[in-house]
Structure 1
Amino acid sequence: MPSAPAVRELAARYLLRAEEAPEADAIVYARSPFEGRSLSWADVAERSERLMRDYRATGMAAGSRCALTLADHLDMIPALLALWRLDATAVLIDPAWGDRLRTNVVEHSGADFALDMTGPAEAVRLRGSGRFAAPLPEGTAMLGYTSGSTGDPKGIPFTHSKLALTMHYSAAACTYRHGARPRRIGCNARLSGSGVLNLNYTWAPFGDAATVVLPELTLSTARSYWRAVEEFGVEQAYLFPAQVEMVNQVALPRSPGGTAPLCLTGSAPVSARLQARFEERFGLPLVNCFGISEAMCTIFFGHLDASGSATTDIGVPWLLQARLVDEDGAVVSGAGEGELQLSGPTLLDHYYNNEAATAAAYDGRWFRTGDIVRRNADGVYRIAGRRKHVVMKGGFSIYLNEVEEAALAVPGVLEAAAVPLLTHDLEDLGLLVRLHADSAATTTDVHAALRASLGVQRAPSRVVRVTEPLPRTGPEKLDRRACEQRWTTETTVGVR
């Protein structure tokens, strides 16, 4: 008779919390449709036990891969814990993805089961899937994707051991930054992928904290944001720069003497203007963090000046080593600028089933982030820009080639070039398209097709038609800088 799978690190932490503090809050829901409900740590463990039996009855077992469509559901964390207790891997699916992206990820991951938390939440076996799947690292808890394009899918294996170690250090860093252990973490965002999941849910048990699922931060909810923080005793919150902008614009002031949570930001560049306005209005530092999925989560936990105000610097690395490498490949000593490279125990070993991407990402033991970073004489780091062709939009990494490939799949599109945009200090992207001469398609048709295939979040904000061939540096390679210049020309014609 086969032995039961070992309880791996992430599952063990949840079960330990259920043993140590069974009646303490684990997840508190202030978001519809579960507003007013809560789960204790014992509830999470017990519900996961029931779900584990259900999933086992479908044939799921150790080594299974389950395409898990995420949602802010009462059984979301119990379901994830059930998969981990079975020693199965959750393939993370954003419900906002279009059909094309979802299909690519499911097929590439080798998922043999599917579980949709936006629906009945019943595990189903996927016929014909998983038979030719490449091996995953031992103890892979989750498989997340930074790109779902058919040309270069980047699947990141989040192993139990690496993610648990990261969460321990993250909890310690925030205790240090806050001056005390944050007891409640407020989740402001829609559950969409590994970023929101790890920053809010996975983090909590390692800090002996509860997750409070606040109303999703939008212009309509931002006005009462601080009231919700106060009501639910939130002591730590992660705000994407777009959310900071909304809070700055419409939120009512904090109550004098009310809860003063540790406010973190990141996942996209935050401007000094946004940061200063936040502190001016609400009297709280907005700590500028930096992390990458390839290192499991956050690496740098910001920097405060002598007065205690947060700066746009990202600080110094926790747990991992960092170095800068200049354009000639030389390591930068002391103060200077170069590509940020990282090394340490929580970096992924390899992208899943993508040897080319793995080889391109590593320089020996050092992972190339593609981010250009400055380091001052005190060893404090600051993000200067990005080398990779990627846009961070609303907390999501959107690769330009991903959008271009989707556009080229639209009937009538001959050429396509995605262009990074910066609007009101927030990143977005546009798309230049050249259509076949005999095509009846319009830019409206292309835009609608991209919103359907990629999802609204990953689709470009605007599609512009050009009639001349797109600029290239070679037979196949787009001249990115010239494409950006073309965008400027095309979108300012007639503007005075």
Structure 2
Amino acid sequence: MSSLPVPVSLDSTLRHLGSADPRRPFLIDAREPERPLEYTWGDADRQVDALAEQIAAHACRSVGVLLDNSYRNLCLIYAVMRAGKHLVLIDPEWGEAAKQAIVDEMRLDALASEHPLEGALAGLRLALDFERSATRRLDRAAHSHMILFTSGTTGQPKGIELSQQAMLHAYRIGRDCLGIGEHTRSGCFYRISGLGILGINFLFPLLYGGSAVLLPLHCWADSEGFWECVERFGISFLYLVPPVVNHMVKEGSPPPRRLPLQRLLCVAGSARLDADLQAAFQRDYAALANIYGLSE
């Protein structure tokens, strides 16, 4: 049984562990595997406090966050929630017209990004100081909604709004099915482009006191190096889309020994996985749960 209090928002565990167990590992940035950077729950909590205070000072109701694979970007996401603002997830690789359509639809006058913005969006970027310390603590995440957009079939972004309670309910089901908890350490090698990858690799395991590792993009293509990273960083949870499973089974090399369930759980989602591929992966690699639509 977990010793963590029942979360009332996606930010609850970060606020709790930031003070209750500040030295516990939160995220390892291993995008350069030979020079990993480790951040603790205390580090993240302080960074989120500082950013949330700055964001809360703005009169805006919603803040768009341009997603990125970084510790700072993850802190921005939590900070928007902690400030009580509605969080709008934006894929930075969308075209300018699509991004502008989201800004117009949401009437956004505030964007958060650790990198400079160009064009018409540049004037909306919040001037945030990542080096500043907070002077007060905020706890408004329960009032924050998450808004995500898809391009749909027309190319015109379509949005959906999720409450904190809806997210908590979905992740509670996932936790009960998969046994996610404080022992879980996820490994992410995808570009964070929306809630699917952000949620399954970060928000979900972190909500239950786990930790996460940022791996180099597409590192799964190098079988030997990939499984070395899994072992070295103690990764125990991997989200694998079917094309990755297909590559590993047909072209890759399995780890030196098959990893037992108590050491590694892999889950497949986003599209249905061929039963033969699943069987081959489970024979040579590790346990693989085939759960269509899991990340959504």
Per the shorter chain, which TM-score range?
0.7 to 0.9
Rounded Cα–Cα distance in structure 2 between residues aligned with 1:56 and 1:186: 31
User: What's the TM-score once normalised by structure 1's chain length?
Assistant: 0.49
Shift of 1:101: 2.0
Rounded Cα–Cα distance in structure 2 between residues aligned with 1:124 and 1:89: 20
Specify whether residues 201 and 60 from structure 1 end up closer, same or farther in structure 2 by C-alpha distance, changes over 3 A only.
farther
Rounded Cα–Cα distance in structure 2 between residues aligned with 1:21 and 1:159: 28
Specify whether residues 227 and 35 from structure 1 end up closer, same or farther in structure 2 by C-alpha distance, changes over 3 A only.
same
Shift of 1:202: 0.7
**Partner amino acid, structure 1, of 2:186:** I
Shift of 1:236: 1.0
Q: Which runs of 5+ in 1 are unaligned?
A: 1-6, 128-137, 299-496
Report 1:261-410 matches (<5 A): 261-282=264-285, 284-291=286-293, 297=295
Specify whether residues 30 and 12 from structure 1 end up closer, same or farther in structure 2 by C-alpha distance, changes over 3 A only.
same
Residues 1:69 and 2:66 aligned together: yes
Q: Which runs of 5+ in 2 are unaligned?
A: 1-6, 126-141
Which residue is equivalent to 1:157?
Answer: 161
User: What's the TM-score once normalised by structure 2's chain length?
Assistant: 0.79
Rounded Cα–Cα distance in structure 1 between residues aligned with 2:74 and 2:35: 16
Shift of 1:205: 2.5
Which residue is equivalent to 2:218?
Answer: 217
Cα RMSD (Å):
3.0
Rounded Cα–Cα distance in structure 2 between residues aligned with 1:33 and 1:46: 25
Given that 1:115 and 1:124 are in contact with CA atoms closer than 8 Å, whether structure 2 keeps it comes out as no
Which residue is equivalent to 1:168?
Answer: 172
Given that 1:32 and 1:215 are in contact with CA atoms closer than 8 Å, whether structure 2 keeps it comes out as yes
Which residue is equivalent to 1:16?
Answer: 16
Which residue is equivalent to 1:385?
Answer: none
Shift of 1:92: 0.8
Specify the SS of the correspondent of 2:71.
Answer: coil
Specify whether residues 35 and 66 from structure 1 end up closer, same or farther in structure 2 by C-alpha distance, changes over 3 A only.
farther
User: Deviations along 1:141-195, whole A, 9 cap, x unmatched?
Assistant: 321112267676431112111112222232222118xxx8642111121111000
Shift of 1:68: 0.9
Given that 2:10 and 2:207 are in contact with CA atoms closer than 8 Å, whether structure 1 keeps it comes out as no
Rounded Cα–Cα distance in structure 1 between residues aligned with 2:171 and 2:164: 10
- Identical residues among aligned pairs (%): 25
Higher alpha-carbon Rg: 1
Shift of 1:34: 10
Specify whether residues 126 and 55 from structure 1 end up closer, same or farther in structure 2 by C-alpha distance, changes over 3 A only.
same
Which residue is equivalent to 1:28?
Answer: 28
Which residue is equivalent to 2:3?
Answer: none
Rounded Cα–Cα distance in structure 2 between residues aligned with 1:34 and 1:77: 22
Rounded Cα–Cα distance in structure 2 between residues aligned with 1:107 and 1:191: 23
Which residue is equivalent to 1:184?
Answer: 185
Which residue is equivalent to 1:47?
Answer: 47
Rounded Cα–Cα distance in structure 1 between residues aligned with 2:234 and 2:182: 13
Specify the SS of the correspondent of 1:75.
Answer: helix
**Partner amino acid, structure 2, of 1:246:** H
Specify whether residues 17 and 169 from structure 1 end up closer, same or farther in structure 2 by C-alpha distance, changes over 3 A only.
farther
User: Deviations along 1:408-456, whole A, 9 cap, x unmatched?
Assistant: xxxxxxxxxxxxxxxxxxxxxxxxxxxxxxxxxxxxxxxxxxxxxxxxx
**Partner amino acid, structure 1, of 2:276:** R
Shift of 1:126: 3.2
Rounded Cα–Cα distance in structure 2 between residues aligned with 1:237 and 1:41: 21
Given that 2:266 and 2:287 are in contact with CA atoms closer than 8 Å, whether structure 1 keeps it comes out as yes
Shift of 1:258: 5.2
**Partner amino acid, structure 1, of 2:249:** N
Rounded Cα–Cα distance in structure 2 between residues aligned with 1:78 and 1:99: 25
Which residue is equivalent to 2:246?
Answer: 245
Shift of 1:230: 0.8
**Partner amino acid, structure 2, of 1:272:** A
Rounded Cα–Cα distance in structure 2 between residues aligned with 1:256 and 1:70: 36
Specify the SS of the correspondent of 1:107.
Answer: helix
**Partner amino acid, structure 1, of 2:179:** T
Specify whether residues 117 and 247 from structure 1 end up closer, same or farther in structure 2 by C-alpha distance, changes over 3 A only.
farther
